[in-house]
Amino acid sequence: MSDSASRQIDVAIIGAGFAGLYMLHKCRGLGLSAHVWEAGSGVGGTWFWNRYPGARCDAESLQYSYSFVPEIEQEWRWTERYATQPEILAYIEHVADRLDLKRDVTCNTKVTAARYDDAAGLWRVSTDKGEEVTARFVIGATGALSAARIPEFKGLESYTGETYHTGTWPHHKVDFAGKRVGIIGTGSSGVQLIPMLAEEAAHLHVFQRTPAYSIPAHNRPLDDAYVQRWNSNAAEFRRKAREETRNGMLYETTTKSALEVSAEERQREYERRWAIGGGQFLYAYADLLVNPAANETAADFARAQIRSIVTDPKVAALLTPTDYGIGTKRPCVDTDYFATFNRPNVTLVDVNAAPIAEITETGIRLEDGSTYELDAIVFATGFDALTGPMLAIDVTGRSGLSLREKWAEGPRAYLGLMSNGFPNLFTVTGPGSPSVLGNVVVSIEQHVDLIGTILAHMQKAGLTWIEPEKAAEDAWVQRVNEIAAKTLMTKAKSWYMGANIPGKPRVFLAYAGGVDNYRKECDAMVADGFRGFSFAA
């Protein structure tokens, strides 16, 4: 990969994951000089960093992949319904090689600042390697879940054992054999990792604050006939996923309410969907995420599954979510998660009842005085989602306006794409766009295509400057909030709401109106002469 970038380029791209790589390809197609900076030592973004045992995508492989080069789609053979992290990373590497992208990627380098120079009308981008580059456009392809976070536990630095975070997992195999291991966190990452740790560790303590709803993955190898059927119809399947679904995935949906059918019919439908596995379950009825009574029927079904698997009723009760609805926090998809708690070498510790008071030299102490001696602690404690990655960079726009100040009360961006005061700065799947609510690769492709359309328009019309109007941005932020408020997702304490970070504003961070509707909004904006954006030559 290239070690240095030319000092003056058209487009500076931050991040070499799914978004940054496609953005680079798009810029090349427009004849623009573009360069990517990437903190990791290789491309892949999320799939470069999250290397913990058991890491998989919880969207189906054939759908969670690029569609912009049909030949690549046809030549890549996914092996499992839900791909493992190594397979997804190998796929991204393959695409990067196939399109010769790596020569314009500088790895092991963090962008530390991006400052808009009003007089020159250019961005000055600085890196932690002391590089400074000027660029006409900056594109934040930083990912929604890339700022890994360890809570500020008292005494953490005094701990003498090994520590790991799922989102910054080492590249070597970590040996847990014979060790006393503690894991904090039971979100998607913890739910995937816990069964793997339990198989290896001498003893595993799971420190749980909030129990998770989890749907079985029913993962399986993909057979040739299935792949063949997909490949023969790929273009149409992809179009449907993009244009006709709420979340960018081809799930079986219905317009029926959970409350308009009999209890028996509902039970049969939930059983059928549970047997299919994965995110399909939440699409059993149209109102599961908007009507509390409807949601409760699905939540009850999921709770009963936990009781049927976990043999100790006290442990089952602790593992059962009661104070939030299913799907109102991101639902987990698992393989053998609940059964893991039947193992004699696994202990569930309730850190809701007695929170973690401190991390000691040798383990964890809870507020009730109980202590746990541990050789290793794994933090599956999540990310500073959506806003964290861009705010980690010192971004300064027009007239010295800082992005951190502007977003102090929550993110503000028109279409989740650009923020007033920050000309020529785009974010791919930024806050206020559908982003994490669904198949993020579909949303990435849509945003990159949209940015490409905007850049092509500017080239053609001889324009050099674009900024969203404040009124358009205000109206969009209001719309995002109104749509979210109609769902049950604003009722739960989740990273969708910024609730996992002390002090982070409690604002719903994504557009919950569906990727289908969002695309229509964007297409209408373009058709309407780029409504809401100001341009200058």
- By beta-carbon proximity to ligand NA7, the closer residue of 143 and 410 is 143
Tokens for 442, please give them: 């579909």
What contacts 417, CB < 8 A, 6 or more positions away?
Answer: 426, 427, 430, 432, 433, 447, 450, 451, 468
> CB of 235: closest distance to ligand NA7 in angstroms?
27
CA 326, CA 218: separation in Å to the nearest integer?
Answer: 19
187-328-426 Cα angle (round to 5)? 80
CB of 145 to ligand NA7, least distance (A): 5
H helices of 311-439, in order, are 313-319, 388-391, 403-406
Choose which of 67, 85, 106, 166 interacts with ligand NA7 (CB under 6 A): 166
**379, two tokens:** 């933090």
For 281, the token pair is: 């379950």
- Residue 56 near ligand NA7 by CB under 6 A: no
Near ligand NA7 by CB under 6 A, which window of 110-118, 181-189, 295-303, 316-324? 181-189
- Confirm or reject binding of residue 305 to ligand NA7 (CB under 6 A): no
Name the residue among 3, 4, 13 with its Cα closest to residue 33: 13
Considering only 63, 85, 146, 189, the residue that binds ligand NA7 (CB under 6 A) is 189
Q: Is residue 147 close enough to count as binding ligand NA7 by CB under 6 A?
A: no
Q: How many residues of this chain bind ligand NA7 (CB under 6 A)? A: 22
Among 495, 508, 511, 518, binds ligand NA7 (CB under 6 A): 495
The residue within the footprint of ligand NA7, chosen from 67, 127, 186, 427 (CB under 6 A), is 186
E strand or H helix at 472: helix 470-485
Distances in Å between the Cα of 368 and the Cα atoms of 181, 182, 353, 355 are 20, 18, 9, 8
DSSP string, 69-107: SHHHHHH----BSS-BHHHHHHHHHHHHHHTT-GGGEE-
Which string of x and - marks every residue 343-382 that binds ligand NA7 (by CB under 6 A)? --------x----x-----------------------xxx
Q: How far is the CB of 384 from ligand NA7 (least distance, A)?
A: 10
**Number of neighbours of residue 301 by Cβ within 10 angstroms:** 19
* Residues 444/19, Cβ–Cβ less than 8 Å: yes
Dist CA 440 CA 59 (whole Å): 9
Q: Which residue is nearest to ligand NA7 (CB)?
A: 187
Find the binding residues for ligand NA7 in span 198-227 (CB under 6 A): 209-210
Shortest reach from residue 75's CB to ligand NA7, in Å:
28
Beta strand 533-536 pairing with 465-468: antiparallel
Nearer to ligand NA7, 27 or 145 (CB): 145
Least distance (Å) from ligand NA7 to the CB of residue 225?
30
The Cα–Cα gap between 292 and 28 comes to 48
In the 8-state DSSP scheme, what is residue 495? G
By beta-carbon proximity to ligand NA7, the closer residue of 21 and 386 is 386
247 near ligand NA7, rule: CB under 6 A: no
Nearer to ligand NA7, 346 or 451 (CB): 346
The nearer residue to ligand NA7, 305 or 500, going by C-beta atoms, is 500
Residue 237: both structure tokens together: 């399947």
Q: Which of 205, 330, 365, 447 binds ligand NA7 (CB under 6 A)?
A: 330
Instruction: Work out whether 183 is an interface residue with ligand NA7 (CB under 6 A).
Output: no
**CA pair distance 512, 508, nearest whole angstrom:** 9
Quote the least distance from Cβ 208 to ligand NA7, whole Å: 7
Residue (145 or 522) nearer to ligand NA7, CB: 145
Residue ranges in 390-449 that form contacts with ligand NA7 under rule CB under 6 A = 436
**Binding interface with ligand NA7 (CB under 6 A):** 145, 151, 166, 184-190, 209-210, 330, 351, 356, 380-383, 436, 495, 500
